[in-house]
Chain A
Amino acid sequence: MNPIIRIIDLKKSFGNNEVLKQINLDIYPGEVQCIIGSSGSGKSTLLRCLNLLEEPNGGSILFEDVDLLAKETDINLLRTHMGMVFQSFNLFNNKNVLDNCTLAPIKVLKIDKKAAEAFALSMLDQVGMKDFAYQNPNQLSGGQKQRVAIARALAMKPKILLFDEPTSALDPEMVGEVLEVMKKLAKSGMTMVVVTHEMGFAKEVANRVVFMDGGVILESGTPDEIFTMPKEERTKNFLKRVL
């Protein structure tokens, strides 16, 4: 099977600060990859490079064998295939829940309004937010916002979902409901890349766990390999502190 995303020698630096050094990573369809590591290790930057919210300085990213960094690539088209869920939800404040989910399908995919709304409602139903369709984002709790954000990403029928610390900004009480939704998605066969601090989730759901430190992938493997018998000293120290 061909990887859906192939990262080759990826480099990214902010000024003199080299955040990513020679990252190589393959992501296969149907796979759930969790990226873990301490703050500042470059996990979020790596994720944001995947849909070019950050422009890499070197290397290449192939999405279904199309080079993202090539000048002639239509990046807006490729982004429609890659849904992204942010730490701070980033729901559009000027639109209600349903409009949040239908804006891009109507504007970008050119789906007509009725069909877009019907599909968005079914996605909202999937994340348990159908009853809130006509509310404004500022009336929702953090967990509800994040579930709407997931529905918004799903409304584009993406081939892969990128999660950037989706539960880090949530009250502990609300983490559960979001993780539930993500587990359901994983079971349905969605390809997911999850940057997370939720080790429990990584253990339970991930097919592969990637440990990053100082801008490189230090270690990767199945959850069992990483959590029970990590090879690197740095990984052991990290897991000792977070578990």
Chain B
Amino acid sequence: MIKKFIPLFKKLIVFALIVGFIYALAPHLLTSSEADNHQTTFISDASGEAMEQLTLAANSVNPYHFGNKQSLTPNRLKQVTSDIALPAAFGEVVITWSSSSTAIMIEATTSTISVASPNGLIQIEVYKGIVSERPNVFEGSKPFTLTAVFALGDATLIKTYEGAVVAQMPSDFWGGFVYTFIRYISLFAEGVATTLGLSLTGTIIGFIIALILVALRLLKPNSRDQKSVAFLKKFGSGFAKVYITVFRGTPMIVQASFFWYGLGLFGDALLCGLFVVSVNTAAYIAEILRGSIGAIDKGQTEASRSLGMNSIQTMISVIFPQSVKNSMPAIGNEFVINIKDTAVLSVIGIFELFNQTTKVAGIHYRQLEAYLVVALIYLFLTYTVTKILQRIEKRFDIEIRELPSSN
């Protein structure tokens, strides 16, 4: 029974990888615009001074959270979890409220609450909007529309507020765990896409840079070279050595901060993050490649040179293909490491998986549940990617070895 789903499952993983890849390259393709967040409509027949007062009232009045007296901005109004307070008046303007949905029931009589204002605490009259129907976490949210009629004498102005009642986070651990996962699954999914995209693209770009690096690293002047050629070779090799030492010797979090906050590269955090992952991975893969080139029998080079091929032709046609094939498991391992290591890029404000989780944890101040969810997601990602890579290695007939982490 379960076996039937394995191919489907694999397809899903591959799909997620592709989506992540696209997302890393062109994030705007996948994220919808957020223009529809805030909808208010004004209908009015008033004019002149009355109109001015009504408009001011309509623009100033927001519903409040009944418990903590926070003002509910349009975004917060879409995340209502408990009773709300609807002001009954603004100056001389009288406001009456009605709700389109049974999710919010508005009391007929007013009550008094004190809210913060620029002039300190003030007492205001409010209608209490009671949350009468609360969806469970699997149902998502129950939308409602509040219609406020602002009246000044005979003049009126009607404004509507779009809102939604959402599930409340259960107070027990497992309830909170499930709630966190279900409620914020789209946030987590976005994070997964960014993380996979960043680490996959970063590994591929890093691999390409590493090929160049290792070619430079292995340059050795010989007795037949002209002075200028010998100097260039020494310079290239020295550059690669310094590059590898620097990028392997400093933490990625420092590199990310240096390039983003220090140099302000690219002007786009995601691009800058991709750059950091790529150049960092390149240093590691260059060393992996150097090791596997060193492990290739010297006879291969000798045979190639004895046929009259020069050192560059030998590298490209004989040595690189073999060493790349041999180091495929280690390079795949770098990808898995990158899935975990891109978490540090949250420091430059990329909303990859870890940063999304911090956001989620902050909404409810329930760190344990959020970080357990993300730990399991990371584990799931690394485990499945490792399995997929092993499959690929098997297909390409590469010897599978258990590899230690490089950092």
Contact = CB atoms under 8 A, between A and B. Distances in A.
Nearest to B224: A71
A166 B325 CA distance: 29
A76 B304 contact: no
Contact of B317 (A51, A71, A107): A107
A108 B303 contact: no
B305 interface: yes
Q: Chain B, interface size: which category? A: 20 to 34
B384 interface: no
Give me the 6 closest cross-chain CB pairs, A-B, nearest first: A80-B308, A90-B303, A104-B307, A90-B299, A84-B306, A79-B308
A79 B305 contact: yes
Contacts of A86: 299, 302-303
Interface string B278-296: 0000000000000000000
B308 A103 contact: no
Interface stretch (A12-20, A30-38, A91-99, A188-196): A91-99
B307 A156 contact: yes
A152 interface: yes
A222 interface: no
Contacts of B313: 107-108
A94 to B, nearest CB: 4
Given A55-B223, A90-B299, A90-B302, A108 B322 contact: no
A156 B304 CA distance: 12
Contacts of A108: 307-309, 313
A103 B317 contact: yes
B300 interface: yes
A92 B302 contact: no
A82 to B, nearest CB: 7
Nearest to B302: A53
Contact of B304 (A71, A75, A80, A92): A92
A93 B322 contact: yes
A83 B299 CA distance: 14
A86 B223 CA distance: 25
18 contacts: A51-B306, A53-B306, A76-B308, A76-B310, A78-B308, A83-B307, A86-B299, A86-B303, A90-B300, A90-B302, A92-B303, A93-B300, A94-B325, A103-B309, A103-B318, A104-B309, A149-B303, A156-B307
A79 B303 contact: no
Contacts of B321: 94
Contacts of A82: 306
A192 to B, nearest CB: 15
Interface of A: 51, 53, 55, 71, 75-80, 82-84, 86, 88-94, 103-104, 107-108, 149, 152-153, 156
Interface string B15-49: 00000000000000000000000000000000000
A84 B325 CA distance: 27
B309 A94 contact: no
Contacts of A91: 303
Interface of B: 223-224, 297, 299-300, 302-310, 313, 317-318, 321-322, 325
Contacts of A51: 306
A76 B306 contact: no
A77 B306 contact: no
Contacts, number: 69
Q: Which of A86, A89, A107 has the most CB of B within 10 A?
A: A107
Given A55-B223, A92-B304, A94-B321, A107 B299 contact: no
B271 to A, nearest CB: 36
Contacts of B306: 51, 53, 79, 82-84
A80 B307 CA distance: 5
Nearest to B223: A55
Given A90-B300, A103-B309, 19 more contacts: A51-B306, A53-B305, A71-B224, A76-B309, A77-B308, A78-B308, A79-B305, A79-B308, A88-B297, A88-B299, A91-B303, A92-B303, A92-B318, A93-B322, A104-B308, A108-B309, A149-B303, A153-B307, A156-B308
A125 to B, nearest CB: 20
Contacts of A77: 308
A49 to B, nearest CB: 13
Contacts of A94: 318, 321-322, 325
A55 B305 CA distance: 13
A79 B193 CA distance: 53
Contacts of A55: 223
Nearest to A53: B302
Contacts of B223: 55
Contacts of B322: 93-94
Which of B299, B303, B325 lies at the interface centre, i.e. has the most chain A CB atoms within 10 A of its CB? B303
Nearest to A103: B317
Contacts of B299: 86, 88-90
A80 B110 CA distance: 100
B295 to A, nearest CB: 12
Nearest to B311: A76
A226 B313 CA distance: 43
B308 A92 contact: no
A181 to B, nearest CB: 18
A195 to B, nearest CB: 14
A89 B302 CA distance: 11
A94 B315 CA distance: 12
Contacts of A149: 303
A183 B327 CA distance: 42
A83 B304 CA distance: 11
**Counting chain A CB atoms within 10 Å of each CB, which of B224, B299, B304, B306 scores highest?**
B306
Contacts of A104: 304, 307-309
B315 to A, nearest CB: 12
A96 B234 CA distance: 35
Among the interface residues B224, B313, B321, which one has the most CB atoms of the partner chain A within 10 A? B224
Contacts of A153: 307
B41 to A, nearest CB: 69
Contacts of B300: 90, 92-93
